[in-house]
Amino acid sequence: MPSAVHPLSLIPLGLLLGEAALGLLSVNPIQDLILRTGKAGLVLLLLTLACTPLKRLTGWKWLLALRKPLGLYSFLYVSLHLVAFAVIDFGLDLALISQAIAEKRYVLAGMASFSLLLPLALTSTKAAQRRLGRWWRPLHRLIYPAALLAALHYLWLAKVPREPLIFLAILGGLLALRLPWWRIR
C-alpha cells in the first residue's frame, strides 16, 4: 500500500499534463494550472494530517509511513501552484506580486501557508531529523497552522463558500482528533 502513494499522488499532475498536451484545458489554461495544483496541494495536505488519527482508529501502522510522501507531494503541488501564480501569471513582477499580497488577504494567507510548509519540506530527510534532534517534532507541528491558513486561503478566494467550508470542517475534525481529551477516550 505505501508504494501506491507515488502513482496515486501523481495522478492530478498526469491528468493536467495530459489535458494540456491534448489541448483539453479551458480557454484560461494558467487559471486551470493554478486552481488544479492548489486543490491537489490542499487535498494531499489533509490526507497527510489524516494518517495519524486513521492509524489510531484502525491500528494500521503502515499509515504512518504515508505521512512523509503525502506531505512532500502536497509541497510539490503547492510549489507548482506558486510558480504558476508568480512566474507564469505575474511574470515574476515583484511589485505586482507585493501589491497582490497587500491587497488580497487570500494571497497573504496562501503565502503564509507556503512559508510554513517550506521548512517542513526542507527538514523532511532523515539527516535533517537527526540534526534537529528534539526540535524536529515541534518544528513539524507547523503543519497545523499551515493547513489552517491554506483552508482559509481557499475560503477567502472562493465565490461560493460551500466546498472550502467542507475542507475547513474536515480539517477541524482532523485537528480535534488530536486533542488530548479525545486521545484519552
How near is the Cβ of 76 to ligand HEM at its closest, in Å?
11
Residues, the chain:
185
| Cα 103 to Cα 105: distance, rounded to the nearest angstrom | 7
If one asks whether residue 38 binds ligand HEM (CB under 6 A), the answer comes out as yes
User: Residue 83 or residue 139: which is nearer to ligand HEM going by CB?
Assistant: 83
How near is the Cβ of 9 to ligand HEM at its closest, in Å?
14
Contact 45, 146 (CB under 8 A): yes
User: Residue 42 or residue 70: which is nearer to ligand HEM going by CB?
Assistant: 42
| Cα 75 to Cα 103: distance, rounded to the nearest angstrom | 25
| Cα 175 to Cα 97: distance, rounded to the nearest angstrom | 32
Count of other CB atoms within 10 angstroms of residue 45: 26
If one asks whether residue 75 binds ligand HEM (CB under 6 A), the answer comes out as no
Count of other CB atoms within 10 angstroms of residue 88: 14
| Cα 74 to Cα 175: distance, rounded to the nearest angstrom | 18
How near is the Cβ of 119 to ligand HEM at its closest, in Å?
14
How near is the Cβ of 80 to ligand HEM at its closest, in Å?
10
Binding residues for ligand HEM restricted to 77-136, rule: CB under 6 A:
78, 81-82, 85, 107, 110-111, 113-114
Query: At residue 59, what is the residue type?
Result: G
If one asks whether residue 154 binds ligand HEM (CB under 6 A), the answer comes out as yes
| Cα 42 to Cα 152: distance, rounded to the nearest angstrom | 11
Tell which one of 5, 9, 12, 41 touches ligand HEM (CB under 6 A). 41
- Interacting residues toward ligand HEM by CB under 6 A: 31, 34-35, 38-39, 41-42, 45, 78, 81-82, 85, 107, 110-111, 113-114, 150, 153-154, 157
